[in-house]
Amino acid sequence: MVAMPAVERPLDQDNLLQAFLELDTPPGFKAELVEGEIVVTPPPDGSHETAFSLLNRQFMRKAEVEFDLSGNKGLITPKGRFVPDGTIAPVGHFENAGSWADAAGVLLVFEVTSTNPVKDRTAKRHGYAAAGVPCYLLVDRSEAKATLFTDPEGEDYTAHSQVDFGKPLDLPAPFSFTLDTGPLR
């Protein structure tokens, strides 16, 4: 993750957003606006993509309801413009959405930590909660833990369940299955 260098004059929020939206990132990189900071992240490593694939397969095979799982869908939250690793929404939810969509109606987002997990652990958690996303699943590779945050209230979640990789993690309705975290080890 690379923070963009400071500019010579401070930008107000509107100008910062405009500068962010006009940013031209190198191929494979993703840019996010997290709590007033433009963050550019390089393409994920193989371990990150393996974790994403594991989560994707389990959600698609085990969930009790049908939904769409988007990888790298841009979401607008009160704390910035985030690109979660995975976004789960009702079927067709993003049909007419542009590159950036309101987070309203999203059922769950998940993040698989990269080299600098601080933003995933705190700032993005707060942004997803403030947007009212019911569930935030954090796969923290450096801590070897999976944490499910639920019941958003204000800028945080009021409940969470955390397990070490290798332990099962129960997911609430509408998913209603137990996530196998064993392969994340």
Which pLDDT tens digit goes with each residue over 136-174?
A: 999 999 999 999 999 999 999 999 999 999 999 999 999
Instruction: Indicate whether 1 pLDDT > 60.
Output: no
Instruction: Indicate whether 6 pLDDT > 50.
Output: no
The closest of 38, 44, 22 to 82, measured between CA atoms, is 38
pLDDT at 2: 52
| pTM of the full structure | 0.90
Which pLDDT tens digit goes with each residue over 68-111?
A: 999 989 999 999 999 999 999 999 999 999 999 999 999 999 99
Segment (H or E) for 6: none
Per the listing, tokens 């950036």 go with 100
Answer for the pair 78, 127: CB distance below 8 angstroms, yes or no. Answer: yes
pLDDT at 7: 47
Sequence-distant (≥ 6) Cβ neighbours of residue 154 within 8 angstroms = 129, 130
Question: What's the token pair of residue 12?
Answer: 């107000």
pLDDT classification of 10: cutoffs 50, 70, 90? low
Domains assigned to the chain: 45-184 (3.90.1570.10)
On the CB side of 6, CA atoms within 13 Å amount to 3
Percent over 70 (pLDDT), the chain: 94
